[in-house]
Amino acid sequence: MSTASASLTIRGIDIDVVYKNIKNLHIGVYPPSGRVRVAAPHQLDDEQVRLAVIQRLPWIREKREQLRSAVRQSVREMATGESHYVWGARRRMKVVERPGRAHFELDGERLLLYVQAGTTAERRRELLDRWCREQLRHVIPDLIAKWEPILEVSVPRWNIKRMKTKWGSCNRETGQIWFNVELSKKHPSCLEYVIVHEMVHYLECNHGERFVELMDRFMPNWRIFRDRLDEAPLAEEEWA
């Protein structure tokens, strides 16, 4: 499937346009910053796309405002009383200062952090990041194993990293899939949706009609999970 791209600025809004072998024009507004992306048929030119976007500007502005007003967690000082999200649930953190190995534990509705006295906030955030990665490593293998026979694909390798603009990514040439560490803070259904989304890229590299058809076939409710992911509270990072 051939593609071409262009960038437009319409009434102060930057628009990324991708021309594809599709029948209909699609407009999307994506978190966290309200990035606008248009998938347009090859037979349309920039001016036709511009007119189509202008017609949808009220909707675009409404979606961008919703994203801007989404709940954002403040920068974490990693102190007792702060709230942190674990698998979509808000947890109150309690810091326990004592000798021994630094680690996190879940205790009912609380997130316990055991550290030695004097541990800096930066070090505590590093510990949280490591713990979040451990949470993902516990559940991702079983979800991949669940979906491999369904999709009839095999995931040769995957890993976790912090990404600024994506929840996941798939390199079809190497087979590598990456997952954003922030997924540990979202509802489990969001993680499963991202896993299926990236695995479907083994079958279709673009996000065109065939990709949507495959998602509809294998995960009919995927739009619900996608919207849940988009509406979930964002971390403190400015995701460009």
pLDDT of res. 231: 65
| Other CB atoms within 10 A of residue 216 CB | 12
**In angstroms, how far is CA 42 from the centroid of its own chain?**
29
Per-residue pLDDT of the chain (240 residues; tens, 9 = 90+): 456 777 888 888 888 898 888 888 999 888 666 888 899 999 998 899 999 999 999 999 988 887 776 555 556 788 999 989 999 999 999 999 999 999 999 999 999 999 999 999 999 999 999 999 999 999 999 999 999 999 999 999 999 999 877 899 999 889 999 999 999 999 999 999 999 999 999 999 888 889 999 999 999 999 899 888 876 555 544 332
Distance in angstroms (rounded) separating the CA atoms of residues 122 and 73: 16
Q: Answer for the pair 128, 91: CB distance below 8 angstroms, yes or no.
A: no
Kindly state the tokens that stand for 205. Answer: 């590299």
For 68, the enclosing helix (H) or strand (E) is helix 57-68
H/E stretch holding 85 reads strand 83-86
